[in-house]
Amino acid sequence: VKLTKDALVGNKGDGFKICMSMLDNTRLSSAARAVGVARACKEHSVRYANEREQFGQPIASFQMIQEQIAEMYVEEEAARLLVHRAAVNRDKGVKNTIEVSCAKFYAAEVAVRAANTAVKIFGSYGFSSEYPVERFYRDAKSFQIVEGTSNIQKMIIARNALGLK
């Protein structure tokens, strides 16, 4: 396909820079979706733990379940705050690639941990299509891959922390 010169987006030679600047937006969006998956895992786990009974009592009364729910709660909250801070600064026009990479990396990891925990809380039902946590597990894993893998995010963060380019 041949295009005319007026079809050029930006300046000649700036294509890579433009694409890379858009990655901050798409990574931030991915991070926000990962927080949503983590939240859904937590909410479904809380509901299930209150409904599911073992030994004549809801599994929510078991200390290990409470610990798992507490960890899901704290991690989701921390990921949400990282994403929120990055989004606020992005809206202000601040170039914040490192902040976005931190949010994307952490939110993806939190989503995977939350999904893994939800599957454990649900037991064998965690893999059943009768409950949404099996889908959340697949969805969560995708956030470690799309818009730059978790390893890429760590590389960006580390290079910044070490003062490397």
Give the C-alpha separation, 45 to 68, whole Å: 9
The CATH code for residues 37-46+59-161 is: 1.20.140.10
Chain segment 94-141, per-residue pLDDT in tens: 989 999 999 999 999 999 999 999 999 999 999 999 999 999 999 999
pLDDT bin (cut points 50, 70, 90) of residue 21 is: confident
Q: Residues near 71 by Cβ (< 8 Å), separated by ≥ 6? A: 113, 117
Do 126 and 118 contact (CB within 8 A), yes or no? Answer: yes
Out of 75, 76, 134, 147, pick the active-site residue: 147
| DSSP secondary structure letters along 126-158 | GGSTTSTHHHHHHHHHHTTTTTS-HHHHHHHHH
Region 78-106: what's the mean pLDDT? 97
- Return the structure tokens found at 133: 């946590």
Q: What pLDDT does residue 12 have?
A: 85
Q: Which helix (H) or strand (E) holds 38?
A: helix 15-51
Whether the predicted pLDDT of 16 surpasses 90:
no
- Do 157 and 102 touch, CB atoms closer than 8 A? yes
Q: Is 147 a catalytic residue?
A: yes
Res 55 pLDDT > 90: yes
Cα–Cα–Cα angle for 118, 155, 14, rounded to 5 degrees: 115
What pTM was estimated for this model as a whole? Answer: 0.90
Q: Which token pair is 33?
A: 């979706």
Share of the chain above pLDDT 90, in %: 85
Which residue from 12, 86, 72, 64 is spatially nearest to 42, judged by alpha carbons?
A: 72
Q: How confident is the model at residue 8 (pLDDT cuts 50, 70, 90)?
A: confident
Asked whether residue 1 carries a pLDDT value surpassing 90, the answer given is: no
- Would the pLDDT of 85 be above 80? yes
Pick from 5-14, 66-75, 94-103, 138-147: least confident: 5-14
